[in-house]
């Protein structure tokens, strides 16, 4: 302690200001003071010994920040802390990676549809994008192949409020599928009301990342062998009947938990279809 002309002077640092602690629960809206980013909490994770919080703005763009000081809540500075009940953080996102809408009910199904080639395609889309599609009121319907696609689309009678998004297997230049799609898009009524997208794989099974299954790559199957049976045989699984194929697919599908388990070439196409079907009618 020192003295001056007014008396003793305490030169010790002032006591640190204690900020209110606020738990970073799902949906909490805060502002990062340094950048001005305002967003809702969508995810917490631990990285390198520190917690990272992800904030989604109203356009669902996401940025990550270190958890702790430097946030404003309702205009006041706070210390953002991890929730005491961590289990609630497991529901912050859907399997597709979208921000999960809390306490939402499925909408009444719209007239618009997503068509996929078969039952397995539909089950995969449902597992990863099901939550999103129920919020939007979009139904996925499996076809039995696309040989009669033009006739099926004509029967559906697409229009501005009755759109079709179609996901096709093996849509690569020169394939049978590419020729069918090219002919379809020449048909009246498809312009602006039908979107056909595709992935390059022989079957939607291949859209599962090999690492998800614990293999270095998908087996190469000779053209002389039915592809799915060949895959099951290469895995050493039963492969003689249609039931074996169904059971084998369920084993593969059980390894898929989120979009991170799928190839980007499928992810982008499904997201493109959902955007097309949910875009405002111009």
Is the pLDDT higher at 213 or at 47?
A: 213
Q: How far apart are CA 4 and CA 14, in angstroms?
A: 19
Does 59 share its domain with 135?
no
Q: Are residues 80 and 164 in the same domain?
A: no
For residues 126 and 122, give the distance between their C-alpha atoms in angstroms, rounded to a whole number: 6
**38 in a structural domain:** yes
Across the range 31-56, mean pLDDT stands at 81
The count of other CB atoms within 10 Å of the CB of residue 141 is 11
Maximum mean pLDDT: which of 64-73, 216-225, 255-264, 273-282: 216-225
Residue 226 lies in a domain: no
The whole-chain average pLDDT of the chain stands at: 84
Question: Which residue spans within 33-184 are E strands per DSSP?
Answer: 38-47, 50-56, 62-66, 71-73, 76-81, 113-116, 139-142, 164-168
* CATH number of the domain residue 161 falls in: 3.40.50
Q: Are both 82 and 122 inside the same structural domain?
A: no
Say whether both 197 and 271 belong to one domain.
yes
Do the domain assignments include residue 181?
Answer: yes
Report percent pLDDT > 90 for the chain: 52
Average pLDDT over residues 171-196: 88
Domain hosting 202: range is: 113-208+256-278
The SS3 of residue 46 is: strand
Residue 215 domain flag: no
Instruction: Report pLDDT for 18.
Output: 81
Going by pLDDT thresholds of 50, 70 and 90, the confidence category of residue 27 is: confident
Q: What is the pLDDT of residue 7?
A: 44
Give how many domains the chain has, as a whole number. Answer: 2
In a domain, 107, yes or no: no
Per-residue pLDDT tens digits for 148-182: 999 999 999 999 999 999 999 988 899 899 999 99
Q: Are residues 47 and 170 in the same domain?
A: no
CB 164 within 8 A of CB 135: no
């Amino acid at each position: 302690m020192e003295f001056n002309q007014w008396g003793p002077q305490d030169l010790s640092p002032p006591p640190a200001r204690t900020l209110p602690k606020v738990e970073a629960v799902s949906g909490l809206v805060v502002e990062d003071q340094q950048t001005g980013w305002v967003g809702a909490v969508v995810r917490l994770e631990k990285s390198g010994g520190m917690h990272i919080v992800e904030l989604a703005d109203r356009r669902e763009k996401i940025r990550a920040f270190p958890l702790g000081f430097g946030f404003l809540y309702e205009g006041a500075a706070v210390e953002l802390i991890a929730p005491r009940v961590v289990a609630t953080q497991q529901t912050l996102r859907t399997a597709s990676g979208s921000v999960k809408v809390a306490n939402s009910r499925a909408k009444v199904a719209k007239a618009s549809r997503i068509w996929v080639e078969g039952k397995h395609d539909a089950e995969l889309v449902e597992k990863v994008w099901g939550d999103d599609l129920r919020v939007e009121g979009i139904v996925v319907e499996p076809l039995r192949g696309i040989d009669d696609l033009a006739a099926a689309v004509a029967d559906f009678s697409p229009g501005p409020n009755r759109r079709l998004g179609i996901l096709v297997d093996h849509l690569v230049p020169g394939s049978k599928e590419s020729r069918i799609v090219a002919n379809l898009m020449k048909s009246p009524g498809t312009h602006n009301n039908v979107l056909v997208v595709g992935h390059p794989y022989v079957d939607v099974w291949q859209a599962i990342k090999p690492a998800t299954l614990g293999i270095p790559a998908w087996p190469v199957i000779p053209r002389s062998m039915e592809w799915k049976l060949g895959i099951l045989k290469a895995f050493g699984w039963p492969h003689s009947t249609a039931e074996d194929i169904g059971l084998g697919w369920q084993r593969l599908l059980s390894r898929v938990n989120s979009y991170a388990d799928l190839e980007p070439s499928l992810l982008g196409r499904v997201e493109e279809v959902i955007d097309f079907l949910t875009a405002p009618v111009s």
